Amino acid sequence: MIRGVRGATTVKHNNAEEMVDTTKELIAEMINKNNVRPEDVAQVLISVTEDLDATFPAKALRLITGWAYVPVMCMREIPVPNSLAKCIRIMMTVETSLAQDQVQHVYLHGAEVLRPDLKNKG
């Protein structure tokens, strides 16, 4: 079955190193919580809010062993007024045997406010 695994995090500064490190932390948590293998990933979409432009957070994926051939794309999030600032969101499309309600979405560093209904899941 094909499933989407969501994740989001925030950074304190529009800084390339912080963006890559924080994105790598988020991706690693998504991988670990859902037992994701790179060969089971169709694509990874990463969006950033308009206040982040220091680097492409997709660079983080390339730092993870075995993930060099996973297709990844960055894009800008819709600039909705009063939305969560300095936010990096990820949608990972994976083949998995997990049921939809078993997928563990990951929200770190204040991004839990995006999906408080999932806060205690997993």
Q: What is the mean pLDDT of residues 88-109?
A: 96
pLDDT at 122 over 60: no
CATH code, residues 2-118? 3.30.1330.40
Confidence (pTM): 0.92
pLDDT band for position 88 (cuts 50, 70, 90): very high
**In sequence order, which ranges of 44-119 are alpha helices (DSSP H)?**
59-62
Q: Which residues are annotated as catalytic?
A: 6, 62, 74, 77, 89, 107, 115
Q: What is the mean pLDDT of residues 39-55?
A: 97
Q: How far is CA 122 from the centre of its chain?
A: 17
In the chain, where the domains are located = 2-118
pLDDT at 89 over 90: yes
Spatial CA neighbour of 10 closest among 74, 90, 78, 91: 90
